Amino acid sequence: MIKVLIVDDHALVRMGIRRLLEDLPDIDVVGDAASGEEALKLVKTLKPDVVLLDMKMPGIDGWEVTRRLVKSHPNIKVIAVTAMASAPLPNRILQLGAMGYLTKESGAGEMAEAIRKVARGEKYLSAEIAQKMAFNSLEPSSASPFDALSEREMQVMLMVTRGMSVQEISERLYLTTKTINGYRYRMFEKLGIKNDVELTYLAIKHKVIDQPSPEIDEDNA
C-alpha cells in the first residue's frame, strides 16, 4: 500500500484529489495539509511514501517544502502538482529533488500512474510537460531567460511576483533581508532588468506566471 499525503492550500482541491484516489486499492491517502508548515509536521507522524505537493502556497511554499523534505526525509518522494507548466519551472523543481511533476488538469489515471512510478523510485512527468521540455531542448531559440537563474533565485522570483516584500520573503525562507536583496539584484543583472515591476512583466511575458497575484492572507485562504 502506497501512503500518500496531499498538500494544497485550497480545501476543494485537497478534497477532489482525495476522491480521485480513495477507491484505488493500492493507494492510501493518510492525510492532507493546508500549508507547507503543516505538511512538514505531518510527515513526521504520518510517514507517507509520496507527497502530492502544491508549489504555490501562502507561508512556506512548495519549493521550500521540497528542499526541506529532500534534506530531512530523503525516502519520501515528492510529486509537484501545479498549474505552472512553462520552462524552466519543471526542470528546476526536479533539480530540487522532486520525483514527479503533474499539472492540476491531470486526471485520476495519470495521477495514480505518477504515484506508483514515483513510489518505485522512477521519475514521472506529465505528457504535456515532457513534450514542452523536449521542445525547449531541441529549439534553443525557445529557451527562457529564466534558465539563467539558480533554484533559489527562481524561488525568490516567484515570491516577488506574488507581491511579497523583501521582509516577508526573508521571514519565510529564514534568510536575512540582505541575502534576499542579493538574490534580487543578481536576478535583475542576469535578466537585464531594473526592478520588481519589470521582473513581473518579464515573467508574464515568458509564461512563468499567469498574472501577478498578491500574497493571500492565510486566514482567508
Tell me: do 149 and 123 sit in the same domain. no
**Phi (first) and psi of residue 201, to 5 degrees:** -60, -45
What pLDDT is attached to residue 167? Answer: 94
Query: Could you tell me if 99 and 155 lie in one domain?
Result: no
C-alpha 110/C-alpha 97 separation (Å) is 21
Q: Are residues 127 and 151 in the same domain?
A: no
Instruction: Supply the mean pLDDT for the chain.
Output: 85
Would you state the pLDDT for residue 135?
Answer: 52
| Cβ neighbour number for residue 43 with a 10 Å cutoff | 21
Residue 149, beta-bridge partner list: none
Q: Decide the pairing of beta strands 77-82 and 100-103.
A: parallel
Q: Which residue has the cell 529532500?
A: 70
Residue where a domain terminates, one of 137, 159, 175? 137
DSSP string covering 128-174: HHHHHHHHHHH-GGG--GGGGS-HHHHHHHHHHTTT--HHHHHHHHT
- Specify whether 43 is located in the same domain as 83: yes
Answer yes or no: are the C-beta atoms of 167 and 179 closer than 8 Å: no
Do 34 and 119 fall into the same domain?
yes
123 and 81 in a common domain: yes
Mean pLDDT of 186-195: 94
Q: What is the CATH number of the domain that holds 153?
A: 1.10.10.10
Radius of gyration of the chain (CA): 17
pLDDT in tens, 40-86: 999 999 999 999 999 888 778 888 899 999 999 999 999 998 877 66
Confidence at 214, pLDDT banded by 50, 70, 90 = very low
DSSP codes of every residue in 46-107: H--SEEEEES--SSS-HHHHHHHHHHH-TTSEEEEEES--STTHHHHHHHHT-SEEEETT--
The domain in which residue 210 lies consists of: 145-220
Counted residue by residue, the chain has a size of 221
Cell 536583496 belongs to 181
Both 171 and 104 in a single domain?
no
Domain end point (choices 94, 117, 137): 137
| pLDDT of 56 | 83
Helical packing angle, 177-191 and 196-205, nearest 10°: 50
pTM: 0.73
What is the pairing mode between strands 2-7 and 27-33? parallel
Give the domain-ending residue among 74, 109, 137. 137
More confident residue, 129 or 215: 129
Q: Indicate the number of domains in the chain.
A: 2
